[in-house]
Amino acid sequence: MTLGTPRLRPRLALALAFSIAAVLTAVAAPAFADATAPAAAPAPLTYRFGDWPPDLSKHGAELQGLYDKILYVTGAVFFLTEGLLLFFLWKYRAQPGKKAHYSHGHMGLEVGWTLLPVVIFVVLGVTSADMWARMKDRNLFPQDAFTVKVTGRQFEWLIRYPGKDGLFGTEDDYETINDLHVPYDKPVRVRLTAQDVIHSFFLPELRVKQDAVPGLETEIWFEASRAAKTEIACAELCGLGHYRMRGSVTIEPLPQVLNWIQTEKEDE
Ligand SMILES: [Cu+2]
Identify whether the C-beta of residue 190 lies closer than 8 Å to the C-beta of residue 196. no
pLDDT band at 5 (very low <50, low <70, confident <90, very high): very low
Give the rounded percent of residues in the chain with a pLDDT score beyond 70.
84
Expressed in angstroms and rounded, the spacing between residue 105 Cα and the centre of ligand 1 is: 47
Highest mean pLDDT, choosing among 69-83, 101-115, 254-268? 69-83
Expressed in angstroms and rounded, the spacing between residue 102 Cα and the centre of ligand 1 is: 51
Cα dihedral across residues 150, 135, 67, 44: positive or negative: positive
* pLDDT value at residue 49: 83
Summarize pLDDT for 133-186 with one digit per residue, the tens: 998 999 999 999 999 999 999 999 999 999 888 889 888 899 999 999 999 999
Tell me the HSE value of 166 on the side-chain side, using a 13 A CA sphere. Answer: 5
Summarize pLDDT for 211-242 with one digit per residue, the tens: 999 999 999 999 999 999 999 999 999 999 99
Expressed in angstroms and rounded, the spacing between residue 214 Cα and the centre of ligand 1 is: 12
Angle between helices 107-136 and 60-91 (to 10 degrees): 160
Identify whether the C-beta of residue 201 lies closer than 8 Å to the C-beta of residue 208. yes
Expressed in angstroms and rounded, the spacing between residue 50 Cα and the centre of ligand 1 is: 23
Distance, CA of 211 to CA of 222 (rounded, Å): 15
Q: For the CA atoms of the chain, what is the radius of gyration?
A: 24
Expressed in angstroms and rounded, the spacing between residue 11 Cα and the centre of ligand 1 is: 39
Other C-beta atoms within 10 Å of 61: how many? 11
Expressed in angstroms and rounded, the spacing between residue 267 Cα and the centre of ligand 1 is: 29
Expressed in angstroms and rounded, the spacing between residue 208 Cα and the centre of ligand 1 is: 15
* pLDDT value at residue 168: 92
Expressed in angstroms and rounded, the spacing between residue 255 Cα and the centre of ligand 1 is: 31
Cα dihedral across residues 247, 252, 253, 256: positive or negative: negative
Would you say residue 41 has pLDDT above 60? no
Distance, CA of 15 to CA of 200 (rounded, Å): 31
Q: Are strands 218-223 and 187-194 parallel, antiparallel or unpaired?
A: antiparallel
Would you say residue 202 has pLDDT above 70? yes
Given 3-state DSSP classes, what are the helix, strand and coil percentages for the chain, each rounded to the nearest 5? 40, 25, 35
Is residue 91 packed enough to be buried (19+ CB in 10 Å), middle (13-18) or exposed (0-12)?
middle
Spatial CA neighbour of 266 closest among 149, 171, 147: 171
- What does residue 53 show for φ and ψ, rounded to 5 degrees? -60, 145
Q: Which residues contact 259 (CB under 8 A, 6 or more apart)?
A: none
Domains of the chain, with CATH numbers?
8-33+52-94+103-138 (no CATH), 141-267 (2.60.40.420)
Q: Report pTM.
A: 0.73
Expressed in angstroms and rounded, the spacing between residue 242 Cα and the centre of ligand 1 is: 5
pLDDT band at 11 (very low <50, low <70, confident <90, very high): low
Summarize pLDDT for 96-114 with one digit per residue, the tens: 988 888 888 899 999 999 9
Which residues keep their CB under 5 angstroms from ion ligand 1? 199, 234, 238, 245
